[in-house]
Amino acid sequence: MSITNQEALFQQRVDQEIKIEARDWMPEEYRKTLIRQISQHAHSEIVGMLPEGNWITRAPNLIRKLILIAKVQDEAGHGLYLYSAAETLGVSRDELIDQLHTGKAKYSSIFNYPTLTWADIGAVGWLVDGAAIMNQVMLCRASYGPYARAMVRICKEESFHQRQGYESLMVLSKGTEEQKAMLQDAVNRWWWPSLMMFGPSDSESTNSEKSMLWKIKRQSNDDLRQRFVDATVDQAKLLGVTLPDPHLKWNEARGHYDFGEIDWNEFWNVVKGNGMCNKERLQARVKAHEEGQWVRDAAMAYSEKKKKKAA
């Protein structure tokens, strides 16, 4: 069959909502874009453990510490499901990790901001996990089976993460004046970077058109960002915090909130590696990988020994 016919058949399957599986024929560009998106997503989950891991030893009580450990562990699990999904497309885990450690691979801009106070941990749960879910629910229906199935489990866990973040902020919102100020300060710092998580505006998004044709993505960056803003404003009111945007206003005619212009210079600066914590995050990942070499060696030695015994 010619490539053109294969491509037409492939698109037909996608249009009919039949999942594409690892052994099915797929256009090379589809494979590449999936590897790109899934691996960036996996790296984000793994690097995303760092800003929160930073507070495990300083959580204010045992219950909060338990919740935070469980959450950070969940993020590691998400990274692993996603690396496995990427591997089904013919790329090795070592290759992907190497791309991250050498700075060739992207991961979400959001994890290059510091978590300065305990309220930041709640704000990450509420806003960062909230934005992540808004973007990821559509990925449960992605055309590539292994990715879609991984996303179902991830989304269930992310919902819990969002709720625990919101709940912990609710406690601060009923606390002392100092706690309320800490909450407002965290929201001030995490609001705009959370909006940036959805990626560049639709007119600047280089991958969206193809990804939507192939039903990897089903909603545009701007549509999802708008949905996030619309959903979050009322939650902010309930918390008694102000979102740091003087242009945020309900627009009756549009049936949506209007909001201010995102600082795209800041976004691209962070994506290019010049954010507040980019260097620190990569260094921490490389160090952890190097220090874990003995674990990988021991596992390999054990498996070799078992193989020899069985032979």
**Residues in contact with ligand FAQ by the rule CB under 6 A:** 36-37, 40-41, 44-45, 48, 52, 75, 106, 108-109, 124, 128-129, 132, 135-136, 196-200, 205-208, 211, 217, 221, 271
User: Min. distance of Cβ 305 from ligand FAQ in angstroms?
Assistant: 36
Structure tokens at 213: 């044709």
User: Min. distance of Cβ 137 from ligand FAQ in angstroms?
Assistant: 11
User: Min. distance of Cβ 126 from ligand FAQ in angstroms?
Assistant: 11
Task: Tell me the backbone φ, ψ of residue 258, rounded to 5 degrees.
Answer: -80, 150
- Least Cα distance to 221 among 245, 244, 248, 203 occurs for 203
Asked whether 24 and 8 are in contact (CB, 8 A), the reply is: no
How many Cα atoms occupy the beta-carbon half-sphere of 306 within 13 Å?
6
3-state secondary structure 188-236: HHHHHHHHHCCCCCHHHCCCHHHHHHCCCCCCCHHHHHHHHHHHHHHHH
User: Min. distance of Cβ 4 from ligand FAQ in angstroms?
Assistant: 25
Structure tokens at 45: 């989950």
Neighbours of 307 (CB within 10 A): 9
Q: Looking at residue 292, what DSSP letter applies?
A: T
> Residue 251 is inside which H or E element, if any?
strand 249-251
Gyration radius from the chain CA atoms: 21
> What type of residue sits at position 151?
M
Q: Which is nearer to ligand FAQ, 100 or 132 (CB)?
A: 132
Q: Which is nearer to ligand FAQ, 41 or 215 (CB)?
A: 41
User: Min. distance of Cβ 125 from ligand FAQ in angstroms?
Assistant: 7
User: Min. distance of Cβ 178 from ligand FAQ in angstroms?
Assistant: 26
User: Min. distance of Cβ 260 from ligand FAQ in angstroms?
Assistant: 18
> Residue 63 is inside which H or E element, if any?
helix 62-87
CA–CA gap between residue 112 and residue 176 (Å, rounded): 30
Q: Which is nearer to ligand FAQ, 35 or 310 (CB)?
A: 35
Q: Which is nearer to ligand FAQ, 66 or 298 (CB)?
A: 66
Q: Which is nearer to ligand FAQ, 180 or 218 (CB)?
A: 218
Question: CA–CA distance from 100 to each of 106, 108, 222 (Å)?
Answer: 7, 12, 27
Structure tokens at 223: 């549509």
Q: Which is nearer to ligand FAQ, 46 or 182 (CB)?
A: 46
Q: Which is nearer to ligand FAQ, 10 or 198 (CB)?
A: 198
User: Min. distance of Cβ 82 from ligand FAQ in angstroms?
Assistant: 9
Query: What residue is closest to ligand FAQ based on CB?
Result: 48
Q: Which is nearer to ligand FAQ, 48 or 146 (CB)?
A: 48
